[in-house]
Amino acid sequence: MASFCELCGKHTDVSKKVIIEKSIFNVCLSCSRRGKPVETPNSLRNMASSKGTSIAGNMATTRPTYAPYNTTGTSQNSRNIYTRKIISTPPRIKPPPLKKINMMDEMILDHEFPSLIRNARSKKGLTHDQLGQKINEKVTLIRKVETGSIRPDEILAKKLERFLGIKLYVNANEQNLEEDNS
C-alpha cells in the first residue's frame, strides 16, 4: 500500500512508525533515522512469528497497539520511552568581581594633579612610554592626564599614587582649612 512520508512528503511503499519529540509519525526509511522506532509487544510478537516474510509484508499486516500516553512522563511498570534524561550542567563559575577602590566622600582629587604626576615621573627619570609600560596603561592616556586635559579615574589615580609615591587624593576638609588660612 503506497503512502506518503509525514516528514518529507515523499511517496513511499515502505513506511516506519517512529517517535519524534513525543509524537508518532509514519515516515519513509530515510527519515526513520530521525526518531526512535515504535516497538510494541504486539508488533514484536508478529515479527517473531512471521520470520522469513518481507518487511513490507510485516508492515502492511501489523497494526501495533499503543498504550495511552501518560502525562507524568513515566509508565506504570517501566520507564517511559518518551521522556528524555535531563543532564544537569554544572553551574558556571563566575570570575570574582573587579575590586573597586571605594573613595570616601571627603576625598577629592588634588587640583594640582598634572604637575604632581609630571614632577614625580621626572624625579624617577621615566618617559611617558616607560611609565605606561610599568603601570600597564596607554601612553596617550598618561599624556592627557599629565597635561590636565582629562581627570584620572579612581583606579588610574591609585596606580599612579602607588607607583610614583604621591598623593593625588586629598581630604576635602583639610584643603578647605588650608584655603581659609591663606
Residues 111 and 174 in one domain: yes
Residues 53 and 115 in one domain: no
Whether the Cβ atoms of residue 132 and residue 103 lie closer than 8 Å to each other: no
In a domain, 57, yes or no: yes
Give the pLDDT confidence of 16-56 residue by residue, as tens digits.
888 888 888 888 888 888 888 887 555 545 554 544 444 44
The residue with greater pLDDT, 109 or 132, is 132
Q: Which domain holds residue 121?
A: 107-181
Distance of alpha carbon 59 from alpha carbon 114, whole angstroms: 88
Residues 176 and 114 in one domain: yes
In a domain, 143, yes or no: yes
> How many other CB atoms are there within 10 angstroms of residue 15's CB atom?
22
The residue with greater pLDDT, 116 or 22, is 116
Mean pLDDT of the chain: 75
Predicted local confidence at residue 41, as pLDDT? 54
CATH number (domain holding residue 160) = 1.10.260.40
Distance of alpha carbon 72 from alpha carbon 78, whole angstroms: 13
Give the chain's domain count: 2
Predicted local confidence at residue 66, as pLDDT? 52
Q: How many CA atoms lie within 13 A of 50 on its CB side?
A: 16
In a domain, 7, yes or no: yes
In a domain, 92, yes or no: no
In a domain, 50, yes or no: yes
pLDDT(120) > 90: yes
What are the DSSP E strand ranges found in the chain? 3-4, 11-12, 16-20, 23-27, 36-37, 107-109, 169-171
* Mean pLDDT, residues 11-18 taken together: 86
In a domain, 145, yes or no: yes
In a domain, 172, yes or no: yes
In a domain, 146, yes or no: yes
The residue with greater pLDDT, 81 or 152, is 152
Cα 42 versus chain centre, distance:
47
Show which of 61, 77, 95 is a domain's final residue. Answer: 61
Classify each residue of 103-142 as buried b or exposed e, where b means 16 or more C-beta atoms within 10 Å of its C-beta.
eeeebeebeebbebbeebbeeeebeeeebbeeeebeeeeb
